Amino acid sequence: MTKPNTYPRQPSAFDPYTNSEIRRAAATGIYDIRGGGAKRYVPNFDDLLFLGASMSRYPLEGYRETCNTKVAIGTRHAKTPIELDIPITIAGMSFGALSGPAKEALGRGASAAGTSTTTGDGGMTAEERVHSDRLVYQLLPSRYGMNPDDLRRADAIEVVVGQGAKPGGGGMLLGQKISDRVAEMRDLPKGIDQRSACRHPDWTGPDDLEIKILELREITGWEKPIYVKIAGSRPYYDTALAVKAGADAVVLDGMQGGTAATQEVFIEHVGQPTLACVRPAVQALQDLGVHRDVQLILSGGIRNGADVAKAMALGADAVSIGTAAMIAIGDNDPRWEDEYRQLGSTAGAYDDWHEGLDPAGITTQDPELEKRLDPVAAGRRLANYLKVMTLEAQTIARACGKSDLRNLEPEDLCALTIEAAAMAGVPLAGTDWIPGRSSD
Amino acid sequence: MPVLDMTTCPLREVNATLQAHKAGTNETEWEVLNPRGSHAVAVGLDGPLTVSVRGSTGYYCAGMNKEATVLIEGSAGPGVAENMMSGKVIIDGDASQYAGATGRGGTLVIKGNASSRCGISMKGIDIIVHGNVGHMSAFMAQAGNLVVCGDAGEALGDSLYEARLFVKGTVRSLGADCIEKDMRPEHLELLDDLLRRGEVSGAKPEEFRRYGSARQLYNFNIDNIDAY
């Protein structure tokens, strides 16, 4: 009697990717380092829907009735808040991680759309200052390139406590990208693997931070808004402590937020999804009576106008984009598919940004690769994209009867899954049930 | 000499007044009275002033200093002269933790002792300490010189880059990748200049030992995993 064959069954826990990662670790003896944010599925804004207008809500006419998109950041203490035409900002990305032309493109695009861009872990370059109408200067633990002239040249200051891709981790820039200029800006030897500190060198905890912020305000004449950027770790308490420390604005970065380079295990296993972070942060602001007075800027996986509208409906004042902005200027473009394949990847999945071999010329310091990015054309693409996102968010807001994006509210939303309903604090679609809040 | 008395003059006015005097000013000598541990005194100065602070200060005194000379007639709280770019800061007494953190230039002189993490992430500043320094001093120090005329605490120069460390007394322990190095003639010459600028008397360059980076951790190697 012939034994019947069964279909070979692959273990779900040891899928082909996992097995390849085990083999890679065994062969190289080093953890995987990559750029970008979490790639695994986590509950996100796609799990929410807007309800739209109905008998009890009156929509606004799409092309006749205005829907305000302007927002001022830094109204709490700063003499000169940043006035944004649109509530979508460009997140901090360093010169070093990105090429000079890429930073220029981000500045050009943001300026054309009436919003801000942000420096990164490498200081401020003259090019990005010139091309950015509104530039936020980051104060990071490494303090690479930090100087008081740039502080005074900035339009706002962002004290970086954490980053969604790596809460509790410092920056990383491998030797391939430490060019002469990058080395000089960071006071480092050329070609070393740069390890940024994860803690600030001159303060520990919110009481110290309050004094640090005082110092920054004294150096800049109390003119500049001071943001505190936190990772999606403990959003309620971290937001409350940032407010206590005197922040004008809180930038909250969920685990889908990208990085130039860090350990894969860090990106995928530390931190909370953006969707899970926003309501606790807003609750902290409301409990302290400073919601809207201290602005909340949400980042981590924002891709389109619907995400913008949903973030704002949950209480954010603005959003910030990094990965999406890079894609807009040309990152992971299928036109470079042959070269991505030569690097062992494919368009859309390429994340070895630390190697400095980016075919799109964005995450590199190679002079020849850099030339592939035209900063003027790339800036125009980014401006287009930002304007489309804004129009999309306005479309939704008008459909919900709102004349200002910040008038969107949780009551405009429902959730498609129990998990998203619990995280966002909105009812599961078709019910009035908010898990963890309503009794039945 | 113009006087800013902090019993009546708010911090904002003290700093705004001093910051307004940039290169070319005629009023170069200033006196700050009654700091009484205030934070962020004389920060962000940007001109060739000499500011005498008559008393002890809180956090970040002379932070991000450029060109100015700040004399603290007392002790200084955490982060004194943090991220200094140029100029000189002299402390008659002791300095708390993070003295000269991330400093990129200029000279910091501490005539007493310095607490932990003195010169953390220093990027070009010269720091001369007449007394001892606490643990983790010169952690991740990138460039510049740290001179310790007394003893150094645990983990001196941990994860050091290219900063030079000179210690006259004992070192409790060296941090990861920090080693003792030969004192060559050029180092003796450099140290002689540093001691002179640091107003150190009674110490000779030959009495010091030099420490620096072994440069074994500059590029990641799994075989060095015990050092991380």
Residue A317 pLDDT greater than 90, yes or no: yes
Q: What is the pLDDT of residue B49?
A: 97
Q: Which of residues 388-407 of A touch B (CB under 8 A)?
A: none
Percentage of residues in chain A with pLDDT exceeding 90? 86
The whole-number average pLDDT for the span A10-29 is 94
The whole-number average pLDDT for the span A92-112 is 95
Q: For residue B222, what pLDDT band results from cuts at 50, 70 and 90?
A: low
Strands A82-84 and A71-73: antiparallel
Residue A90 pLDDT greater than 70, yes or no: yes
Phi and psi torsions of B203, nearest 5°: -135, 140
Chain A residue with minimum CA distance to B97: A202
Residue A145 pLDDT greater than 80, yes or no: yes
The whole-number average pLDDT for the span B154-178 is 97
- C-alpha to C-alpha distance for B154 and B174, rounded to whole angstroms: 7
DSSP state of A49: E
| Pairwise CB contact (< 8 Å): B121 & A192 | no
Kindly state whether A204 is in contact with chain B, defined as any CB-CB distance less than 8 angstroms.
no
| Pairwise CB contact (< 8 Å): B162 & A189 | yes
How many angstroms separate the Cα of A184 from the Cα of each of A105, A125, B1, B146, B189? 23, 12, 40, 21, 26
Q: What is the pLDDT of residues A44-59, one digit of tens each?
A: 999 999 999 989 889 9
Q: What is the pLDDT of residue A122?
A: 85
To the nearest whole angstrom, how far is the Cα of B203 from the nearest Cα of chain A?
Answer: 30
Q: For residue A63, what pLDDT band results from cuts at 50, 70 and 90?
A: confident
The whole-number average pLDDT for the span B218-224 is 74
> Which of A30, A215, A224 should be substituted to probe chain B, the one whose Cβ sees the most B Cβ atoms within 10 Å?
A215
Q: At what angle do helices A205-219 and B11-19 cross, to 10 degrees?
A: 40
Ramachandran quadrant class, A391 (left: phi over 0; alpha: psi -120 to 50; beta: rest): alpha
Residue B145 pLDDT greater than 70, yes or no: yes
The whole-number average pLDDT for the span A223-243 is 98
Phi and psi torsions of A322, nearest 5°: -125, -65
Angle of CA points A46, A51, A52, to nearest 5°: 115
Residues sharing a CB contact under 8 Å with residue A307, sequence separation 6 or more, in sequence order: A45, A301, A319
- C-alpha to C-alpha distance for B112 and B120, rounded to whole angstroms: 18
Q: What is the pLDDT of residues A377-400, one digit of tens each?
A: 999 999 999 999 999 999 999 999
The whole-number average pLDDT for the span A152-159 is 98
Ramachandran quadrant class, A33 (left: phi over 0; alpha: psi -120 to 50; beta: rest): beta
Residue A197 pLDDT greater than 90, yes or no: no
Q: What is the pLDDT of residues B60-114, one digit of tens each?
A: 999 999 999 999 999 999 999 999 999 999 999 999 999 999 999 999 999 999 9
Residue A24 pLDDT greater than 60, yes or no: yes
For residue B218, the chain A residues in CB contact (below 8 A) are 175, 189, 192-193
CB A301 within 8 A of CB A254: yes
Q: For residue A439, what pLDDT band results from cuts at 50, 70 and 90?
A: low
| Pairwise CB contact (< 8 Å): B161 & A189 | yes
Q: What is the pLDDT of residue A219?
A: 98
